[in-house]
Amino acid sequence: MARYIFVTGGVVSSLGKGLSSASLGYLLRSQGYKVRIRKMDPYLNVDPGTMSPFQHGEVFVTDDGAETDLDLGHYERFTDISAKQSDNITTGRIYSDIIKKERRGGYLGKTVQVIPHVTDRIKEFIRKDITNEDFVICEIGGTVGDIESLPFLEAIRQFSNDNGRSKSLFIHLTFVPFLKSSDEIKTKPTQHSVKELRSIGIQPDIVICRSQQSIPLDQRRKISLFCNVDIANVIETVDVKTIYEAPISFFNQKLDKQVLKFFKIKSKKRPNLLPWKKITNIVLKTKRTVNIAIIGKYVNLKDAYKSLDEALTHGGISNKVKVNLIRIESDKLRSKEIKSKLNNVSGILIPGGFGKRGTEGKIEAIRYAREKRIPFLGICFGMQMAMVEFARNILKIKKAGSSELDKNCFPVIGLIDEWNKDGKIIKGTDKNLGGTMRLGLYEAKLRNNSAIKNIYKYNIIKERHRHRYEVNINLMQKFEKKGLIFSGISPDNQLPEIIELKNHPWFIGVQFHPEFKSRPLNPHPLFSSFIKAAKSFNGK
């Protein structure tokens, strides 16, 4: 029977609950246990799909097409276990299901209440789709004391009662500040946070204390005493230099050992930390850098392209270079500045995106990459804009565009039914838009003797998608005649998946999001190859 580990946070947000859960997941998995990690988000959005990256960071897409919280990306990257739709739930989803059921008369006239109906639905989520897992780690978003988290905390309290206290472990992550003026480490916020948790009926079994410096024994004793937690279960996590150090740091602090001890399990084997040590070393010691420009709408927000930033770092790790990201806001990029802003970059990347703002700047930058033979990677919207650039400047289709941005353009990119009707182009209508995203894993056939085949080394690949518009397949011959090759295509030959330029050292566009599948211990081949090309680029 699965054992459940609940991870809550206190004092302040952004303490690294996701990273702690992911690191624990790795340590347990590496000892041969089957692990699953899930996230409960207290906000009222049904899923993060419609949330702005400005507010909430990236939307992480799973194999089965769920649009989820970016913490699931951390989990995947650290544990290499593919997350599923059933691993992320929000208050909004719970309420929306409950209200739908109520409208159908599903509650047979009973009063529908937070307890038991909402809490029951949360408990259902915790148990759902679990078969032979040894450990299920559930992270509860938000901070203890928030109104929104209350039903989740009540549900996990009930769950531990139903499931058996010995099969449910509570980990509470708090902040232990250091006060410079008095040269002291303060444990009071942690005491208060645990008190708050206990007032809801949850006694944490392990307290992880995030701190800028090591916590002296005396202070740990104090936390142990006031929080009613064994001293061995007061675990510190001191800021690491790179996130890849986190599994090593938690192992040194014996987090996994204490977890196994709680469940009265003997460790099967020592976790393998060698790969993390290796990459930590590379990340911290590498001197040589390559400059990569990312030109997008949300570049100034730290987490808006989380998986992409990670994947580029992974590409750097596999080439033993540091990737220096130069973030350029696309709507501030004027054509006359292109040269000066992109003068010292060795690679240009246009990420996924939606909407018209900043597109002309992106198109200009793509032209610069094509003409100056600078390695270029276009992801999803980035690929679509590369097609538009080529159509306008090489195929001389002046009105070439994407119908997402201009309903009166010549749709090089558009909704597929705009050109699938008897081969004739018809104008898309707004009603086509609702709930029509292509989400999750889809196959692509790779063409022989192409750059992409050389990179992946497979005939068929599977990658994650999140887009609504497609490249107009009817234009394939026109593009190919001029040297832009459709080197990856859907198995039914309908949807172009990958494009590449023939006479260019490295110019590739992909309709999917390869960044979601890159792992620090297993960098994605496309990013490794892109950074390799950037490393050997010596243009100018």
- Tell the smallest beta-carbon distance from residue 510 to ligand GLN (Å): 10
Q: Which residue has the tokens 């599903």?
A: 106
Rounded Cα distance, 40 and 81, in Å = 18
Nearer to ligand GLN (CB atom), residue 187 or residue 511: 511
Amino acid identity of 146?
A: D
Pick out residues in 150-209 that bind ligand GLN (CB under 6 A): none
Nearer to ligand GLN (CB atom), residue 404 or residue 500: 404
Contacting residues for 78 by C-beta, under 8 A, at least 6 apart: 19, 22, 23, 25, 26, 246, 247, 520
Nearer to ligand GLN (CB atom), residue 43 or residue 354: 354
Task: Say if residues 526 and 511 touch (Cβ distance below 8 Å).
Answer: no
Residue among 123, 322, 468, 478 that touches ligand GLN (CB under 6 A): 468
Task: Say if residues 426 and 439 touch (Cβ distance below 8 Å).
Answer: no
What angle, rounded to 10 degrees, do the helices at 150-163 and 119-127 form? 60
Nearer to ligand GLN (CB atom), residue 94 or residue 412: 412
- Tell the smallest beta-carbon distance from residue 61 to ligand GLN (Å): 9
488 forms beta bridges with 446, 498
Q: Which stretch binds ligand GLN (CB under 6 A): 151-159, 168-176, 464-472, 487-495?
A: 464-472
Q: Which stretch binds ligand GLN (CB under 6 A): 161-169, 263-271, 342-350, 461-469?
A: 461-469
Residue among 362, 467, 524, 535 that touches ligand GLN (CB under 6 A): 467
- Tell the smallest beta-carbon distance from residue 81 to ligand GLN (Å): 24
R_g of the chain, CA atoms, integer Å: 25
| Residue 298 engages ligand GLN in binding (rule: CB under 6 A) | no
| Residue 500 engages ligand GLN in binding (rule: CB under 6 A) | no
- Tell the smallest beta-carbon distance from residue 513 to ligand GLN (Å): 7
Contacting residues for 145 by C-beta, under 8 A, at least 6 apart: 10, 193, 196
- Tell the smallest beta-carbon distance from residue 416 to ligand GLN (Å): 11
Site mask, ligand GLN, residues 418-457, x = CB under 6 A? ----------------------------------------
- Tell the smallest beta-carbon distance from residue 262 to ligand GLN (Å): 42
| Residue 404 engages ligand GLN in binding (rule: CB under 6 A) | yes
In three-state form (DSSP H/G/I as H, E/B as E, the rest C), the secondary structure along 203-240 is CCCEEEEEECCCCCHHHHHHHHHHHCCCHHHEEEEECC
Nearer to ligand GLN (CB atom), residue 251 or residue 486: 486
Catalytic residues: 380, 513, 515
Classify residue 400 as exposed, middle or buried by CB count within 10 Å of its CB (0-12, 13-18, 19+): buried
Classify residue 134 as exposed, middle or buried by CB count within 10 Å of its CB (0-12, 13-18, 19+): middle
Pick out residues in 344-403 that bind ligand GLN (CB under 6 A): 352-354, 380-381
The 3-state DSSP class for residue 514 equals helix
Strand order from edge to edge, sheet including 234-238: 88-90, 35-41, 135-140, 3-9, 168-175, 206-211, 234-238
| Residue 469 engages ligand GLN in binding (rule: CB under 6 A) | yes
Nearer to ligand GLN (CB atom), residue 57 or residue 352: 352
Nearer to ligand GLN (CB atom), residue 234 or residue 380: 380
- Tell the smallest beta-carbon distance from residue 352 to ligand GLN (Å): 3
Nearer to ligand GLN (CB atom), residue 207 or residue 350: 350
| Residue 466 engages ligand GLN in binding (rule: CB under 6 A) | yes
Q: Are strands 347-350 and 410-414 parallel, antiparallel or unpaired?
A: unpaired
Rounded Cα distance, 133 and 131, in Å = 6
- Tell the smallest beta-carbon distance from residue 312 to ligand GLN (Å): 17
Total residues contacting ligand GLN by CB under 6 A comes to 10
In three-state form (DSSP H/G/I as H, E/B as E, the rest C), the secondary structure along 109-162 is CCCCCHHHHHHHHHHHHHHCCCCCCCEEEEEECCCCCCCCCHHHHHHHHHHHHH
Q: Are strands 410-414 and 470-471 parallel, antiparallel or unpaired?
A: antiparallel
Give the residues lining the site for ligand GLN (CB under 6 A).
352-354, 380-381, 404, 466-469
